Amino acid sequence: MKVMNIHERNMKVEPVKAGGAIDGLSGREDFLWPRHRWPAMEFDGPLAVGASGGHGPVRYSVTEYVPGRRVEFRFSGTGLTAGLDGRHFFEVIPRNGHVVLRHVVDAECDFKSWMKWQLLVGPLHDALLEDALAGVDHKLADGEARLPSWSPWVRFLRWMLEKKRQKASGTPH
């Protein structure tokens, strides 16, 4: 089964500014990844082809990196996205007078993994990406973009994941 998921934001900024959002991923200057609300994106080295890591229980490695333009990751087959065979990427697309900052998930999977995407991974992914794009828009464009509200389902899923994390780490509830 196919998982195709696209999030994008049009911004009236120079491509180099939007490209800085991609280049800063997982680093000290990262203003794309919403680490204040979600597990940080971390790798075993700088953002470069071959770097492995991910965010929280989602694991992947960098398979393509064009500074200022695009970074592509391949799912590792472990963690929360076990069963997804594919990639996800961020890209900056220059347009006439604006840019499009886009994130795409493109993967194949069996029915069980597809259901896990539909019920668990996809809603969390959508909320994370909308937080990320709103944050970049706020920093680079008009400064007026607000963080979106999470749905009750996303709030419930985050609560469940936190309870599971606490149990695994022995942290008191």
What's the pLDDT tens digit per position in 8-17? 999 999 999 9
pLDDT at 165: 81
Residue from 147, 125, 135, 120 nearest 7 by CA: 125
Task: Give the torsion sign (CA, 144, 137, 9, 18).
Answer: positive
pLDDT at 161: 87
Question: Mean pLDDT score of the chain, rounded to an integer?
Answer: 93
pLDDT at 120: 94
Q: How far apart are CA 88 and CA 3, in angstroms?
A: 11
Q: For the chain, what percent of residues have pLDDT higher than 90?
A: 82
pLDDT at 96: 92
Task: Give the torsion sign (CA, 150, 10, 146, 58).
Answer: positive
Q: For the whole model, what pTM was predicted?
A: 0.92
Amino acid of residue 13: V
Q: How far apart are CA 163 and CA 17, in angstroms?
A: 38
Residue 25: how many CB atoms within 10 A of its CB? 20
Which of 6-10, 11-15, 29-33, 138-142 is predicted least confidently? 138-142
Q: How far apart are CA 28 and CA 26, in angstroms?
A: 7
Alpha helices in 36-83 (DSSP H): none
CATH 3.90.1170.50 assigned to domain 2-169? The reply is no
Q: How far apart are CA 111 and CA 170, in angstroms?
A: 33
